Structure 1
């Protein structure tokens, strides 16, 4: 069995695509220098996220007088994604972007290597005002990559156990979640390390890894954008729910090395959560109506 060196990034991204690519290139170079073969970058790293979750992409930031047009919409088969793949080279690289599909716009995440696109996911669960800016995806699926079978999700997707469970049941060995997860806007903590939304972010990461007994790679935006202050906290979690590496609330790379196959086998040897499921028991009175 062989080990996999993987990393999740905590980094700040804005509207400017060229600046975004400069940051991507820097992070890829840093990760490559550390021997990383799987690198996860945050949600919306190509073109930035929304300025606010209250008014959608066209909402104004506090103190601003100009409305924001929102992130630039990029085609999955367009030049920006090809450029991302070229930067990836031999590395398996995961990055968030705004996807254009006809008139629709999706909050999406793509997985690439130098050979091209390996997988793409459109965010399914939309918090607060996000549906004013994006259409919603409708499925979760895993796919094969040079570093193993991966399943992807975006930010709020991880708040729903069904998302990660669907990926695990589709054979995902590694769950990769990319986020633009902010700190709380009400009763905000002066120190992000004490923020209650950060605690939720961390709890979801550990719970999703443990309940599905998979490796979990979680990237997030850091810094501020519009009215949002992101909690960073990129991390790698093992199948037992233990955090192997964590950036804290600042920018950086959380890097960990793990024999994925052995870690999954060890975690599932005695109590296999996927094996021991009882789907016939998971019913409730209102199931027929939902």
Structure 2
């Protein structure tokens, strides 16, 4: 593994200002952020959701016009930067897949090239108008710094989906997001951040979430700007982001420690599970959904 001298890996979340329909400017912003993260010693750089395209599409035609294949300029540019700086990039992509379907995806690239693509399975709001949801389990990739899992935004709101990554051995979960701004009580951190903290703690793995900048609304949609890196006890080690504009969060994380799932002398968050009980619960939920549909 590629460690700093103290056995940690520097993780960067590059919170960016994105503009819908301006992929050239968006790619330039991501490139500059990756360069700055490399200068700061980062070995993993996480970018926001839909980093190439922006988020608030007028219609399906606009989303389609902004979608790129995996060998398009965004991913190939990230690969070139990963090779130049010997690091890992995880970023969100408006993707046109091999069948011509439009996907809300996350990719992981490193000096070897494209290592993994994950298509968002849980679509939020009106995303069904633009994207076809993924239907495969999220990947866990062995990298030079450890095992990295991928999700996209709303996916991490589903604890059972996050748990699949812990069971797959992920040390670090990287999540590109675009969090719309929702009302919250004064002084409270965003609810999305709280749920990230919970996911990290109950699975005892590091989680790095990269949001977009809150400085610029997109077609009247304001953003949270809540990028955060959380440790395996559920505590933020970088963020939540405090700047309304672009911000580079950096956190030094001992990723290998996420492989120890023990809580004290007697408990283990994975070994203590009772899956034979959960199956009956899942079955009853499915049966209820079928009854409602009928």
TM-score, normalising length from structure 2? 0.85
State the Cα distance separating 1:115 from its structure 2 match. 2.3
Q: Secondary structure at the match of 1:50?
A: coil
2:72 counterpart of 1:78: yes
Q: Residue 150 of structure 2 aligns to a residue in which SS?
A: strand
**For structure 1, which runs of at least 5 residues remain unmatched after alignment?**
52-56, 60-67
Asked whether the equivalents of residues 240 and 267 of structure 1 are also in contact (C-alpha less than 8 Å), the reply is no
- Please give the alpha-carbon distance, in whole angstroms, between the structure 1 residues aligned to 2:107 and 2:263: 29
1:27: which partner in 2? 33
Matched, 1:218 2:209: yes
Q: What is the CA–CA distance in structure 2 between the aligned matches of 1:69 and 1:12, rounded to whole Å?
A: 20
Query: Take 1:239 and 1:256, find their aligned partners in 2: how far apart are those partners?
Result: 13
Alpha-carbon contact 2:262-2:269 (below 8 Å) kept: no
Q: Partners of 2:78 and 2:263 in 1: how far apart?
A: 36
**Cross-structure match for 1:256:** 251
Which residue number corresponds to residue 221 of structure 2? 228
- Change over 3 Å in CA distance of 1:75–1:211 after alignment to 2: same
Matching residue within 83, 94, 100 for 1:98: 94
Q: Which residue of the partner structure matches residue 8 of structure 1?
A: 13
Q: Distance in 2 between matches of 1:174 and 1:225?
A: 30
Partner of 1:242: 235
Q: Which of 270, 273, 284 is the aligned partner of 2:269?
A: 273
Tell me the equivalent position of 2:54. Answer: 48
The 1:115/1:226 distance shift into structure 2, 3 A limit, reads same
For residue 107 of structure 2, give the secondary structure of its aligned residue in structure 1: strand
List 4+ stretches of structure 1 deviating above 6 A: none
Which residue of 113, 116, 123 corresponds with 1:116?
113
- Residues in 2 aligned to 1:167 and 1:11: alpha-carbon distance in whole angstroms: 26
CA contact (8 A) 1:125 1:157 kept: yes
Aligned CA RMSD, in angstroms, stands at 2.2
3-state SS of the aligned residue for 1:106? strand
Q: 2:124·2:154 contact (CA, 8 Å) conserved in 1?
A: yes
Give the Å deviation of 1:21. 1.6
* 2:132 aligned with 1:132: no
Distance in 1 of aligned mates of 2:18 and 2:186: 23
Deviation of 1:199 after TM superposition, in Å, equals: 1.9
Structure 2: 5+ residue stretches without partners? 1-5, 290-294
Secondary structure (helix, strand or coil) at the match of 1:143 reads: strand
Aligned-pair CA distance for 1:287: 5.1
How far apart in 2 are the matches of 1:259 and 1:136?
33
Corresponding position of 2:148: 150
Q: Distance in 1 between matches of 2:69 and 2:286?
A: 38
User: In structure 2, the residue corresponding to 1:229 is in which secondary structure?
Assistant: coil
Distance 1:232 1:110, change over 3 A: same
Tell me how far apart the structure 1 counterparts of residues 286 and 222 of structure 2 sit (CA, whole Å). 41
More strand by share: 1
Q: TM-score, normalised by structure 1?
A: 0.86
